[in-house]
């Protein structure tokens, strides 16, 4: 019996050792697609004149870098005919405008010309509610009731349908965390939003941003959440490539990824006590 046990233990050990090998799967590769990061965010109580647009391309699954794209001509046009040019900086793929004029409910048109291809998108700048100053902390929050949790509030506008994007940054998470919200069941109410994390501790800084977004962008971002595996429902959808509102006027099938959005943003910084 001892011999059998020794042989079984040795076999299991060899199997586990073999499981430590890294397996690399070869994926089919396709031609890189242009990615247009055209997020125009106007923080409350600031001029909003400095804005940036970034261009890159898609890349291989195992690549840790996204190739930047230089040499594009980028501009945004408002309904008055004002043109705001974005000029490439010393940082490859980053295009800067220093005289942008943000206005809530104004409609803007984006144009990107690159390598004989002309991309356009149209969007309206959406306002947002203000985050109230009375952020509440609980030390018995979260799903299990033993996490530090903060709750913030904002007043919804009863005169219109509103869509929101929440962004939270904490030291415990490497990337910003996002959540979408609409006022379908809270029209005109004081809305609360809570955030908790099991590793939050005294002295940690939590950065909160509240964006006002269009319904189209709200729907687009929800699709992104599903495509990234963030859908926690019992029957998640199959991830697919999510296309935004940017259209290639030269060749419709040669589309670009990304979304042209314009948002007013409110921001609060909270220190865990």
pLDDT band at 232 (very low <50, low <70, confident <90, very high): very low
Give the model's pLDDT for residue 154: 98
Segment 109-168, tens digit of pLDDT:
999 999 999 999 999 999 999 999 999 999 999 888 999 999 999 999 999 999 999 999
Give the pLDDT of residue 50: 98
Residue 263 has pLDDT above 50, yes or no: yes
Quote the pLDDT of residue 26.
55
pLDDT tops 70 at residue 6: no
Domains and CATH numbers, the chain: 34-127+244-263 (2.60.40), 136-234+267-271 (2.60.40)
Please compute the mean of the pLDDT values over residues 79-108 and round it to a whole number.
Answer: 98
If pLDDT is split at 50, 70 and 90, which confidence band does 37 have?
A: very high
- In percent, the amount of the chain with pLDDT more than 70 equals 84
Contacts of 30 by beta carbon, 8 Å cutoff, 6+ apart: none
pLDDT in tens, 234-262: 444 445 578 899 999 999 999 999 999 99
Residue 233 has pLDDT above 70, yes or no: no
The torsion angles phi and psi of 216, rounded to 5 degrees, stand at -60, -45
pLDDT digits (tens, 9 = 90+) for 70-86: 999 999 999 999 999 99
């Amino acid at each position: 019996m001892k011999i059998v046990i020794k042989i079984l233990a040795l076999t299991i050990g060899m199997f586990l050792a073999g499981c430590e090998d890294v397996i690399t799967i070869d994926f089919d590769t396709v031609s890189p697609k242009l990615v247009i990061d055209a997020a125009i965010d106007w923080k409350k109580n600031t001029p909003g004149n400095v804005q940036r647009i970034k261009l890159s391309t898609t890349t291989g699954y195992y690549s840790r870098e996204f190739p930047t794209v230089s040499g594009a001509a980028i501009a945004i046009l408002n309904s008055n005919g004002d043109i705001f040019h974005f000029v490439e900086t010393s940082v490859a793929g980053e295009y800067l405008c220093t005289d942008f004029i943000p206005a809530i409910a104004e409609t803007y048109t984006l144009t990107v010309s690159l390598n004989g291809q002309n991309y356009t998108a149209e969007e309206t700048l959406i306002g947002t509610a203000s985050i109230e100053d009375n952020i509440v902390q609980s030390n018995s929050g979260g799903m299990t009731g033993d996490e530090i949790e903060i709750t913030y509030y904002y007043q919804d506008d009863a005169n219109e349908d509103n869509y929101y994007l929440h962004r939270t940054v904490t030291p415990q998470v490497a990337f910003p965390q996002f959540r979408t919200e609409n006022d379908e069941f809270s029209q005109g109410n004081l809305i609360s939003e809570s955030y908790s994390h099991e590793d939050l501790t005294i002295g940690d800084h939590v950065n909160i941003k509240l964006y006002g977004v269009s319904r189209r962008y709200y729907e687009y971002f929800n699709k992104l959440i599903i495509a990234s595996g963030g859908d926690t429902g019992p029957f998640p959808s199959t991830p697919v490539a999510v296309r935004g509102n940017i259209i290639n006027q030269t060749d419709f099938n040669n589309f670009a990824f990304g979304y042209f959005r314009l948002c007013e943003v409110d921001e609060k910084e909270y220190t865990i006590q």
